Amino acid sequence: MSFIDNILCAPINGGFSMDDYWVWCGSAIPGEDGKYHLFSARWPKKYPFFLGYIHYSEIVRAESATPEGPYEFREVVLGDIGEEHWDGRMTHNPTIRKCGDDYVLFYIGGTFKGEKPAASQLRKGKVPETDICYNSIRIGAAISKSVLGPWKRPDKPILEPRAGKWDSRVVTNPAPCILENGKIYLYYRSNTPEGLRIGLAAADNINSPFIRVHDDPVIQFENGGYVEDPFVWHNGRCFEMIAKDWTGLITGEKNAGMHARSGDGISWTLADPVKAYSRTVKWDNGATTVQGHFERPQLILENGIPTYLLAATMDGHAEYFDDATRSWNMVIPLKK
């Protein structure tokens, strides 16, 4: 069946939320303790959603006895450690994977000098530090033998922009695909004047350098459409990707999910049907809602098979982030 046909009803009391925080970017994994652990980004709700994450986002861990949740907050995993570190002031986009005997937490980080802006300043718009921090964003990987930590935070990023290339401004949205031989394909997003593009780097293992597999983007469209937030896995026969359709020109629905496949991880073909998921969500209490945003798709995989779809979601309108009153991590079971 197509991916979208495997989506079941969302548990109305599942997922992860915090009353006083914007919650985003949820990624979950079963731990060695038999529980499920969800790594998420959060920042205080007194700051505006979009500008707030650039200055205040931190990565936290929550846990649950079941994949659906509800997940309960346990600890801050990657917080503010000072402006002298490449990821010292902001961490975001967590994606948790098991690489051999290690748990690896892929994420983005950024930094800037000086005091963090007040909520009143950010409500008026960007401050100079906003662009400084955004343009400093790089991809890192923290490593631990236990899902409970302690986490070895990297001294430098594992992937950086390349001067003079299409990905010269920023690298973000890390999407690692761990192959059976331990090799890591790391998909990522960068911004170009023509729109968002998806690139690919690879490493023999988490301790090896990540090298671009292809000099140009591996995902770009001629019709003006573009995607972000990729999630990639290998189903034993080919690579599969789901990603957010930013414009709606690919799936026919703005912010819905695109589904694509590839034999080599470089050349991609749109699936049929191309829509992986919709912002229209059916709940297990019989209700149906149209979410303002449904982003950062992630999967829980069991023996390489997707069993749960996770997404960062919020109320409000699809065109904006500033009319939302609540955001949270959603977990939706898939047909086995």
Which among 306, 281, 175 is positioned nearest to 228, based on CA atoms? 175
Q: Residue 122: what pLDDT?
A: 96
Q: Residue 112: what pLDDT?
A: 97
User: What is the pTM for the complete model shown?
Assistant: 0.97
CB 255 within 8 A of CB 245: yes
Q: Which domains does the chain carry?
A: 4-333 (2.115.10.20)
Q: Residue 304: what pLDDT?
A: 85
DSSP assignment of 157-204? -SB---TTSTT-S--EEEEEEE-TTS-EEEEEEEEETTEEEEEEEEES
The mean pLDDT values, 10 residues at a time, for the chain of 336 residues are 94 97 97 97 96 97 98 98 98 97 97 96 96 98 98 98 97 97 97 95 97 95 91 96 95 96 97 97 96 95 93 85 90 94
**How many CB atoms neighbour CB 236 within 10 A?**
9
Q: Residue 88: what pLDDT?
A: 98
Give the single-character DSSP code of 209: P
Q: Residue 222: what pLDDT?
A: 80
Q: Residue 322: what pLDDT?
A: 79
